[in-house]
Amino acid sequence: MYIEMVDETGQVSEEILKQTQEILEFAAQKTCKENKEMAVTFVSNARSHELNLEYRDTDRPTDVISLEYKPELDIAVDEEDLLDHPELAEMLEDFDAYIGELFISVDKAREQAEEYGHSFEREMGFLAVHGFLHINGYDHYTPEEEAEMFGLQEEILTAYGLTRK
């Protein structure tokens, strides 16, 4: 899995960047069938607030914003075209590889780690996995969806070694 990471805050350590890469690759092994690409940007509460207002019409900062990318192709391509034009098949595969992006508020992660009584590392891992599951189609609007998503989330975090302390 290819993950582009940007730290807009200048506060994210190499260890957290490495952990984020590893835990997302680990989560991908459990949820993705194909090689995918995504982006993670670490932001401040102020930037999170702007993004939350822009994308969710919610006037406050949040911990993680997940933007799922769903390509909508309105072109018909038959298999003969793909066989005759391998570059077209490669373009379509690349186009379909990008699954979305996450914006993780470093400020919120610090606040929540303290509030919930666990490590900053655990909270950053939790937010990365939570956002990752959202961009892979998981949600928690109904009790059934919540049970499925939160169960998988906890399974990934525990298997990776980021347990609640």
Which pLDDT score is estimated for 118? 92
Which residue carries 């990365």 as its tokens?
128
Token readout for 54 is 């822009």
Percent of the chain with pLDDT over 90: 71
Which pLDDT score is estimated for 69? 86
Average pLDDT over residues 77-93: 62
Which pLDDT score is estimated for 95? 57
Q: Please provide the average confidence, as pLDDT, over all residues in the chain.
A: 88
| CB-CB contact of 24 with 32 (8 Å) | no
Which pLDDT score is estimated for 30? 85
pLDDT digits (tens, 9 = 90+) for 19-70: 999 999 999 998 875 678 999 999 999 999 999 999 999 999 999 999 988 7
DSSP character string of 129-141: HHHHHHHTT---S
Give residue 13's pLDDT band: very low, low, confident or very high (50, 70, 90).
Answer: very high
Q: Is 91 a residue whose pLDDT tops 80?
A: no
Which pLDDT score is estimated for 75? 52
> pTM of the predicted model, to two decimals?
0.84
